[in-house]
C-alpha cells in the first residue's frame, strides 16, 4: 500500500502532466492555425461592438475562420478576416457583427447565398450590416423612455384641458357650456348662410358682382381703358404724358420754381418794392395813412355833393 507521501507525489505529477498536455494541445492548435491556408476578406462597420483580433468568423453559424485585424480607416472600423481556403464567399453576401452580451465575445457572421452566384475575388470587401449593440440599445431605450415621458406629460395636459372645458373655464369652456353663447353662434352662422344664399342668388351689391355679367364687362372695360390711358402716358401722349416724359417742361418748371424761390428770398430780405412792403414798417404805415386820408376825402365829397354828381365826378376821373 502506497504511503501518503507517494500518493501526494503521484497527484502532483498527474496535475503537472495534464497542464503540460493542455499546453501542448493549445500550441499544436495555434501552429496548425498558423500554417493553415486561408483567404483574406475585408468588411467595414460603423462600430466594433467588442470585436477583437482572434474572434471567430462564421458562415451561417459554421466556424470558417477568424478575425485577423481590427483597425480604423476612413472614419469606419475595418475588419480583416482570414477565412479557410475553399470556403466560397459569393456576391450578395453580407457580414454582421454578432455581439455577445453575456461574455463580450463578439464574432463576425456571413450569410450563405445560393451557389449559382459568382465568388468574390480574394481580398474583396464584403458588404456589411450594422446590428445595434448593447450601448445602442440602451440609447434607444432611453430615447423611448423619454418619448413615453413626453407622451405622459402631453396626456396629462390634455386631461387638464378637458377638465377645464368640462367645467366651463376659458373661452372654449364657455362655448361648450354656455347655451347663450351657443345660441348667438348659431344665429351668426344662420345669418352668414342667409348672406351667402343672397349672394348666390345675385341679390345685393356683392351678389351682382358675382352674377351680373354686364357689370363684369363694364368693370373689364374700365380696366382696359385705364390700361390704354397709362400706356399713352408712358408714351408721352397728352398733357399728362408730356408732364411725365417731356424733359423740357420739367426743366422749365424747375426754372420757374427756382425763380420763385429767388423772388421770395429777396422779399424776405426786404429787397425791391414788394420786399419793402413786407419788411419796411414805415412804408406800411404811410400807405395805411394814405388809404385812411383817401377814405376821409371821399366821404367828405359824398357829404357835400349830390349822389348823382359824385358818381359823375368819379366816372370822369377815369
Higher-scoring residue by pLDDT: 316, 87: 87
Q: Select from 82, 84, 58 the least CA-distant residue to 70.
A: 82
Q: What is the mean pLDDT of residues 227-248?
A: 75
**What is the band of 304 on the pLDDT scale with cuts at 50, 70, 90?**
low
What pLDDT does 126 receive?
92
What pLDDT does 44 receive?
94
Instruction: Specify the DSSP class assigned to residue 64.
Output: E
What pLDDT does 137 receive?
57
pLDDT exceeds cutoff 60 at 305: no
**What is the band of 28 on the pLDDT scale with cuts at 50, 70, 90?**
very low
**CB-CB contact of 40 with 60 (8 Å):** no
Sign of CA dihedral 198, 203, 205, 207: positive
pLDDT exceeds cutoff 80 at 69: yes
Higher-scoring residue by pLDDT: 166, 46: 46
Ranges 125-129, 179-183, 233-237, most confident:
125-129
Distance CA 230, CA 236 (A): 10
Does residue 150 sit in helix, strand or coil?
Answer: helix
Q: What is the pLDDT of residues 82-109, one digit of tens each?
A: 999 888 889 999 999 988 766 668 899 9
Q: What is the mean pLDDT of residues 16-44?
A: 68
Distance CA 89, CA 126 (A): 9
DSSP letters spanning 99-116: --TTT---EEEE----TT
What pLDDT does 163 receive?
75
How far is the CA of 103 from the CAs of 1, 26, 100, in angstroms?
47, 21, 6
Cell numbers given for 292: 385812411
Q: What is the pLDDT of residues 199-213, one digit of tens each?
A: 777 777 777 666 667
What pLDDT does 143 receive?
64
Distance CA 147, CA 135 (A): 18
Ranges 73-87, 162-176, 210-224, most confident:
73-87
* Rounded-to-10 torsion of CA 297, 303, 306, 312: 10
**Among the residues of 236-280, which ranges form H helices?**
238-245, 247-269, 272-279
Element (H, E) at 81: strand 76-84
pLDDT exceeds cutoff 50 at 149: yes
Q: Determine how many CB atoms are found less than 10 A away from the CB of residue 259.
A: 10
- Domain coordinates in residue numbering, the chain: 35-131, 137-177, 246-294
pTM of the model: 0.36
Q: What is the mean pLDDT of residues 155-175?
A: 75
Q: What is the mean pLDDT of residues 119-132?
A: 86
Distance CA 64, CA 58 (A): 5
Percent of the chain exceeding pLDDT 70 equals 72
Amino acid at each position: 500500500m502506497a504511503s501518503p507521501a507517494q500518493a501526494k507525489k503521484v497527484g502532483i505529477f498527474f496535475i503537472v502532466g495534464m497542464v503540460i498536455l493542455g499546453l501542448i494541445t493549445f500550441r499544436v492548435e495555434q501552429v496548425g492555425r498558423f500554417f493553415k491556408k486561408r483567404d483574406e476578406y475585408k468588411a467595414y462597420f460603423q462600430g466594433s461592438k467588442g470585436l477583437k483580433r482572434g474572434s471567430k468568423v462564421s458562415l451561417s453559424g459554421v466556424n470558417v475562420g477568424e478575425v485577423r485585424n481590427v483597425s480604423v480607416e476612413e472614419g469606419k472600423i475595418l475588419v480583416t478576416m482570414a477565412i479557410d481556403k475553399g470556403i466560397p464567399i459569393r456576391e450578395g453576401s453580407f457580414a454582421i457583427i454578432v455581439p455577445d452580451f453575456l461574455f463580450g465575445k463578439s464574432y463576425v457572421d456571413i450569410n450563405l447565398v445560393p451557389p449559382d452566384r459568382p465568388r468574390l475575388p480574394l481580398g474583396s470587401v464584403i458588404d456589411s450590416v450594422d446590428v445595434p449593440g448593447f450601448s445602442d440599445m440602451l440609447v434607444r431605450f432611453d430615447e423611448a423612455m423619454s418619448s413615453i415621458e413626453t407622451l405622459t406629460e402631453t396626456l396629462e395636459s390634455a386631461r387638464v384641458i378637458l377638465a377645464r372645458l368640462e367645467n366651463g373655464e376659458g373661452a372654449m369652456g364657455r362655448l361648450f357650456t354656455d347655451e347663450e353663447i351657443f345660441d348667438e353662434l348659431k344665429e351668426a352662422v344662420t345669418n352668414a348662410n342667409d348672406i351667402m344664399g343672397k349672394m348666390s342668388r345675385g341679390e345685393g351689391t356683392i351678389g351682382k358682382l358675382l352674377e351680373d355679367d354686364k357689370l363684369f364687362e363694364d368693370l373689364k372695360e374700365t380696366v382696359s381703358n385705364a390700361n390704354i390711358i397709362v400706356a399713352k402716358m408712358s408714351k408721352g401722349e397728352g398733357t399728362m404724358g408730356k408732364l411725365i416724359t417731356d424733359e423740357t417742361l420739367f426743366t422749365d418748371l424747375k426754372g420757374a420754381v427756382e425763380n420763385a424761390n429767388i423772388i421770395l428770398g429777396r422779399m424776405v430780405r426786404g429787397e425791391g418794392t414788394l420786399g419793402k412792403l413786407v419788411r419796411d414798417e414805415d412804408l406800411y404805415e404811410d400807405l395805411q395813412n394814405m388809404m385812411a386820408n383817401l377814405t376821409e376825402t371821399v366821404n367828405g365829397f359824398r357829404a357835400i355833393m349830390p349822389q348823382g354828381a359824385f358818381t359823375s365826378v368819379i366816372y370822369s376821373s377815369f
